[in-house]
Amino acid sequence: MKTALIFGASSGIGAATAVKLLESKWQVFGAARSVDKLNAIALKYPHFVPLACDVTDEDQVEATFAAASQDQLLDAVITTAGVYLTDAPLKDTTLEQWENLHITNSRSNFIIARAAERLFWEKAGVFIALSSLGGLNHWVLPGNGAYSSTKHSVTAVVAALKAEWDVAKSPSQAFCVCPGLVETPMVEGRLKDHPNEKGTGITAESAGAAISELATHPERFDSWLYRLGPSGLQPEIGPTSYDI
Ligand code: NDP
């Protein structure tokens, strides 16, 4: 049985990815702060193991990796944990908001990616992190500057991880997924204020299906950076060479 560890498994894209993998007979360790929501998934799926974890706490992330890889080696580490801030022009964004976004989205992604890089340095595994269209320069929306800057960090860290594994000839693969609108609890506030955007996104289930496909068949994907929208996963760039 293949095994995945998913950070952010209590809601939205992370929960949908967990369910998709569970339905494909994976064992899934699901980490988040909302243990009640994790327990609800575990009630339905016996191969789901809930793990309480606040990704802003390095010790908790390390303990979560240790718990998930105690009895067997993991096959995939996926992180969807994140928070959003929209309609916040830079002039109105407080330093506290900026820092909180970076602590949850960028700092935790670094902690998780570093642990995954160590875990899969020699043993084959897949690492998948959720960036955003806003994690690509040409897609930053007005009012999304602070959030998008955290996602640029996610994209850069996955780029480094991929390059480091490639240069070290690690058998592992890293993917950075950059979705457009996905209709999850995260964007409820934005959709209330921008009702014209309702129905233009994709569902959490279709995002989860795409991410589980990356985890299950990494050999079918030759880029590391993908946009995710109504046409599914689209490579943002082609294969990269590090022979400088
Ligand atoms: P949700 O709000 O539905 O889910 C966010 C998840 O992150 C929850 O499981 C939440 O768990 C977890 N999380 C947040 N803070 C922490 C924390 N401190 N410690 C542990 N877990 C945490 O959002 P989505 O599913 O929509 O988002 C998933 C990812 O996709 C995010 O990284 C987001 O930025 C990205 N994304 C989403 C888009 C969208 O349109 N929805 C578009 C582009 C990118 P809990 O609160 O239980 O801890």
C-alpha 133 to ligand 1 mean position (Å): 15
Residue 90 has pLDDT above 80, yes or no: yes
Ligand 1 in contact with 149 (CB < 6 A)?
Answer: no
Superfamily name and number for 3-235: NAD(P)-binding Rossmann-like Domain (3.40.50.720)
Among the residue ranges 97-111, 113-127, 228-242, the one predicted with the least confidence is 228-242
Ligand 1 in contact with 187 (CB < 6 A)?
Answer: yes
Q: Quick one: which atom of ligand 1 is closest to the CA of 9?
A: 9
Distance CA 140, CA 43 (A): 39
Q: Quick one: which atom of ligand 1 is closest to the CA of 14?
A: 25
**Per-residue pLDDT band at 243 (split at 50, 70, 90):** low
79, two tokens: 């992180």
Task: Map residue 78 onto helix, strand or coil.
Answer: strand
> Which residue, by CA, sits nearest to atom 34 of ligand 1?
82
pTM: 0.97
Residue 91 has pLDDT above 60, yes or no: yes
15-26, pLDDT tens digit by residue?
999 999 999 999
Residue 223 has pLDDT above 80, yes or no: yes
Q: Where are the domains of the chain?
A: 3-235
Buried b (16+ CB within 10 A) or exposed e, 82-98: bebbbebeeeebeeeeb
Distance CA 22, CA 4 (A): 10
Query: What pLDDT score does 139 carry?
Result: 86
Ligand 1 in contact with 130 (CB < 6 A)?
Answer: yes
Query: What pLDDT score does 244 carry?
Result: 55
